[in-house]
Amino acid sequence: MKSFFAVLVVFFAVFFSGCVQKKIDLNFQDESFIAPDQEWLVVTVPYAAFRVSADFSSEICFHARSGDVFLICGKQKVQVINPEEKKSSKDYLVWYKVEQGWIDGSLVAVYDTRLKAEAAAKSSYEKN
C-alpha cells in the first residue's frame, strides 16, 4: 500500500508540474529569415564574379567568395548559343539577380530560407 501511495504521489507531481505556465518571450522583429516569398543563394565556388547583365560577355561588377550569402531579387533563363554552329541549343542557363549583379546558377546553391543558406555557408567554411 505504501508503494502504491508513493507511485501515486510521484505520478501527480510529474503530471501537474507540466501544467505550470512558463513565460515564452518571442521576438518577431526580423522575420526575413523565414519569409516564404524569398530565396537565398550561397556561392559554392572559391571565387565568383557578378555581372552587369545575365551574360558571360557582360562587364564584371562585383566579386564573391565561397560561402557568401545573398538574397535573390530575380531569376532569368538564358538559352545557350553554340558559337561554332551559329545556332541556339536546347540547353538553358539559369542566372540569378542579386543586389550586386547577376551570377550564373552553376556557381551557387539556392535555399528557400536565410537560415538554411547561412547553415550551408557555415558548413562550407568548416570544410575549408
pLDDT at 123 (0 to 100): 85
Q: Residue 36 class from Cβ within 10 Å (0-12 exposed, 13-18 middle, 19+ buried)?
A: exposed
pLDDT at 107 (0 to 100): 96
pLDDT at 79 (0 to 100): 84
pTM of this prediction? 0.68
What structural domains does the chain harbor?
35-127 (2.30.30.40)
Residues 6+ apart with CB under 8 A from 79: 88, 89, 91, 92
Among all chains, which residue has been given the C-alpha cell 551574360? 55
pLDDT at 37 (0 to 100): 78
pLDDT at 81 (0 to 100): 75
pLDDT at 20 (0 to 100): 62
Which residues in the chain come in under a pLDDT of 70?
15-22, 24-36, 82-89, 125-128
